[in-house]
Amino acid sequence: MSDITLYEIGVADGSSASPFVWRIKFALARKGLAYRSEMLGLTDIPKLFDGRFATAPIIDFGDRQMNESLAIADHLDAAYPDRPAIFACAAERAMVGFFDRWLLQLILTHVLPIYMLDAHDGSTLKDRSYYRQSREAFFGRTMEAIVADRDERLPELRRAFDPVRETIAGQAFLGGQEPNFADMCLLGLFIFIGTIATLPPLVADDPLIGYVERGLAAFGAETVSLSLNLGEKAA
């Protein structure tokens, strides 16, 4: 039995849905490290480890508990140097720091106003009122008001992925022939969207669908595509 426990965020259908947790699931797969999964709700996070952590993923190595996906990825490379690297070099790690900020500041800002109510409706019953209250407090409006014009906003989100489309026209992944941590971050985001979306994030012939499928296959996570279903939702 593994000494590693990964605390994930489960939604109502039992799927693991946090984009940040998926980064670490992929990183653990890259390292070939087995782990135990504990599925949490967002409202369970403060109950763990004396409330030391406010966000998931949380990982328990037995002798050490951590959160923050990039810090966890760094630790995995430091603690398991003989296993395949998550970051090939310091320069790649530095670029991934930039990529993480780009994803949060320029992509997630388009994703949440479109998919927030879906995320609420897809969440576990115990999380729903917390999810609504915390997100509505942050945005200063009801979720229904935030997503009201989401059909008109969707083209903007789809366009925001153009730099990725152009990049993968010439290579399999952002990392080149193999996915790197930037891919793990982006794949995690698509899993989040694809798990909860009731509005198709991508059109059926979008090359990003093949990219996501390739990415999942690279980490042995093909079964996730069943819940992703990007292509069918886009039909």
* Nearest to 196, CA basis, from 6, 4, 19: 19
Q: Token match 């069943």: residue?
A: 226
41 close to 71: Cβ distance less than 8 angstroms: no
Contact with ligand GSH (CB under 6 A) among 7, 20, 26, 219:
20
- Binding residues for ligand GSH, rule CB under 6 A, total 14
CA-nearest of 139, 138, 147 to 118 is 147
Task: Write down the least CB distance from residue 9 to ligand GSH, Å.
Answer: 5
Residues 6+ apart with CB under 8 A from 141: none
The site map against ligand GSH for 59-78 (x = CB under 6 A) is: --------xxxx--------
6, 7, 10, 18: residue in contact with ligand GSH (rule CB under 6 A): 18
Site for ligand GSH in 131-150 (CB under 6 A): 134
Site for ligand GSH in 27-46 (CB under 6 A): 42, 45
Residues 6+ apart with CB under 8 A from 14: 39
Return the amino acid letter for 34: A
CB of 7 to ligand GSH, least distance (A): 9
Say which residue the tokens 């080149």 belong to. 176
Mark the segment that binds ligand GSH (CB under 6 A) among 12-20, 152-160, 198-206, 210-218: 12-20
- The SS3 of residue 67 is strand
Based on the shown chain and the rule CB under 6 A, indicate whether residue 9 belongs to the binding site for ligand GSH. yes
The CA-to-CA distance between both ends of the chain, in Å, stands at 43
Q: Which residues lie closer than 8 Å to 98 by C-beta, 6 or more apart?
A: none
Q: Which amino acid is at 71?
A: A
User: Would you say 15 or 168 has its CB closer to ligand GSH?
Assistant: 15
- C-alpha Rg value of the chain to the nearest Å: 17
116 binds ligand GSH (CB under 6 A): no
| Minimum distance, C-beta of residue 72 to ligand GSH, in the bound complex (Å) | 7
Residue 190 binds to ligand GSH (criterion: CB under 6 A): no
Closer residue to ligand GSH, CB minimum distance, 55 or 167: 55
Q: Which amino acid is at 113?
A: P
State the nearest-atom distance from the C-beta of 203 to ligand GSH, in Å: 26
Q: Where on the chain is the footprint of ligand GSH (CB under 6 A)?
A: 9, 18-20, 42, 45, 55-57, 67-70, 134
